[in-house]
């Protein structure tokens, strides 16, 4: 699993010009699934992200988690995180999991975040989405498991 985590002041996901997910302060999580990924990776990353101290405390230090600040999350499936650009000019996506593997694992990851206490909304798997965000900081972190 590969996740691009962005600390946001707000985020919104639109499909066909309709908002399907919208949060205030929290996390935008772009999630890529590899063919060998499973429950263990999803569980580990949900725990890590829920408790990752990337929000500022009263002294301006990154010392608080999304749980500590009462933030929310938006999970967006993004197979392009497994793009291979080593050859040619067109990326290959053969390193990403098939939709039959990826869709249920992305959904499971989102439910695990919810179980950890992070209110979580999701984009629409396989849809063309417009993702709007205010990258706060900016803070952008890549996680892989």
Give catalytic residue positions: 78-80
For helices 99-115 and 39-51, angle between their N-to-C axes, nearest 10 degrees: 40
Pick from 111, 130, 115, 110: which is nearest to 31 by CA? 110
Task: Work out the burial of residue 75: count CB atoms within 10 Å of its CB; fewer than 13 is exposed, 13-18 middle, 19 or more buried.
Answer: buried
């Amino acid at each position: 699993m590969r996740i691009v985590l962005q600390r946001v002041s707000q985020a919104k996901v639109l499909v066909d010009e309709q908002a399907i997910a919208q949060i205030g302060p929290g996390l935008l999580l772009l999630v890529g699934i590899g063919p060998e990924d499973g429950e263990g990776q999803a569980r580990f990353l949900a725990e890590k992200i829920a408790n990752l101290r990337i929000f500022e405390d009263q002294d301006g230090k990154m010392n608080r988690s999304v749980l500590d600040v009462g933030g929310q999350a938006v999970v967006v499936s993004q197979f392009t995180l497994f793009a291979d650009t080593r050859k040619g000019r067109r990326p290959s996506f053969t390193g990403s999991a098939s939709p039959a593997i990826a869709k249920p694992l992305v959904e499971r990851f989102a439910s695990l975040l919810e179980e950890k206490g992070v209110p979580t909304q999701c984009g629409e798997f396989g849809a063309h989405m417009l993702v709007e965000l205010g990258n706060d900081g900016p803070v952008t972190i890549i996680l892989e498991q």
